[in-house]
Amino acid sequence: MRKQFPFLCGAALLLALSLSACGSGSKTTPPSSSPESESTAGILSSFTAPDLEGNQVDESILSDHTLTMVNVWTTSCGYCIQEMPELNALAQEYADQGVQVLGLVLDVMDQDGSYNQDQLGLAQDIVANAGSDYTQLLLSEDLYHIAAQISGTPTAFFVDSTGNQVGYAYSGAMDQEQWSQILDEVLAEVQE
């Protein structure tokens, strides 16, 4: 069963993404912890995933930040790509307030659980062309529970320094001003 898990999750994810479409922003319920991790502190309290450069990243990436915005995207989503420069500017604007942005690329994994080198290269090119310098995570088994709850891209949600979700998830692309308004609200909530 362990060997089939990546295949089944990958197939379900690809089906879900093929049925969804990119779009403009709307508020949704935030992703929740997987049933297996209900006893953990939060949605990202314990994970390991590679970034676009192949470095292993874990939950410690959150610990030095008051708030982390996780932007879930795919290489086939034009809106995702268009908003990357705005998210990068947002990350720079809010860095001194303890805020970071992380990307989570959903569509570079093949159904067998390996990373498709062509898709990986495409994702790297997209990030470079957008001038995005925030960390981009790749889907891993530890993050399947998040990917399974994403109905369209881009989707963004927020977590605190321990991986607990804060506020809502937002579906669809937004400009920097719209994200700033949301970020101010979420940041105030996490600082209470």
Question: Cα separation of 143 and 49, whole Å?
Answer: 8
Q: What is the dihedral of CA 137, 4, 121, 117, to 10 degrees?
A: 140
CATH number of the 4-191 domain? 3.40.30.10
Q: What is the pLDDT of residues 121-175, one digit of tens each?
A: 999 999 999 999 999 999 999 999 999 999 999 999 999 999 999 999 999 999 9
Q: How far is CA 93 from CA 78, 87, 90, 179, in A?
A: 24, 10, 5, 11
Q: Report the pLDDT averaged over residues 96-125.
A: 96
Q: Report the pLDDT averaged over residues 7-15.
A: 44
Would you say the pTM of this structure is higher than 0.75?
yes
Q: Is the pLDDT of residue 33 over 50?
A: no
Q: Is the pLDDT of residue 30 over 70?
A: no
Q: Is the preceding peptide bond at 35 cis, omega within 30 degrees of 0?
A: no
Question: Cα separation of 122 and 120, whole Å?
Answer: 5
pLDDT class of 28 with cuts at 50, 70, 90: low
Residue count (the chain): 192
Identity of the amino acid at 58: D
